[in-house]
Amino acid sequence: MMGLWSGSAGLRSTLAVLIGVVLLWEAAVWLLAPPPIILPPPSRIWVDFIEAPSYFLRNSWYTLSTTLVGFVLSVVLGVGLAVAIVNSRLAERIIYTLLVALNSLPKVALAPLFVIWMGTGIEPKIAIAVMLAIFSIVVDTVLGLRSVDPDAIALARVNHASPLKILVKIRFPNALPSLFVGMKVAISFALVGAIVGEFVAGSAGLGFVILVAQGQFDTSRVFVALVLLGLLGTILFYIVEAIERLVLPWHVSQRAVERPGGH
């Protein structure tokens, strides 16, 4: 109960910060009076959104669906690769080498290849989202799977537990806190990957909205898309964090922090 309350308090403080930034932004534009093509005020951005809400929401949904599919695939594939790495030294050398190499390549440079291979539909955007998100999932899950107390593994083997049972009953529950750390990073990377794919070969999505508005020198619409992206990223992060609180209420990271002098 305390974990849920602290989570809602964190959300309230985040909203307060965002409202404060918007008010400061509006005041700065009013005082400095830059050209609207350089920096429009939040009120102008809001008017642009209200004039065509269905257009922005439809494209937001496209980006969101791409992000979620890419994120789920990265979690499934990442956990599978992490299990392979923990159980095989050869798999560790091969998979880590490939992942580090792929993670070092600029995804904007790889995106045209995915378009050539998969076409201009949603598939290349999902593939790019997976590529950006999977690295943190694998690294953090491997860390969690290997952070098991050796005595617990030894005791399980003495009791003739199979490798699968050790994985399911001991290693994986121990790895959940690390997995959620990776997931909170990966959900943002999946969103970035979806936008990169829309930049390269998009006909829908917030990335496509930004490209069209840029071509028309419509800075206000660019900011509408950017604000929506920021909101999507923030909401997705807090959803993952809320799931973490529900799944891991026992973990030390979810306990209320006692402040000095407080109760």
C-alpha torsion sign, points 228, 230, 234, 240 = positive
- Determine, yes or no, domain membership for 56: no
Tell me, yes or no, whether 11 and 108 share the same domain. no
pLDDT of amino acid 210: 93
- The number of distinct structural domains making up the chain is 2
Which residues form the domain of 229?
61-248
Residues 194/205, Cβ–Cβ less than 8 Å: yes
Residues 38/28, Cβ–Cβ less than 8 Å: no
- Determine, yes or no, domain membership for 262: no
Query: Consecutive sets of 10 residues in the chain, 263 residues long: mean pLDDT of each?
Result: 50 78 88 86 90 92 95 95 88 86 81 82 89 92 84 76 77 87 94 90 87 88 93 91 84 52 47
pTM of the model: 0.82
Structure tokens at 20: 């404060």
Count the residues in the chain: 263
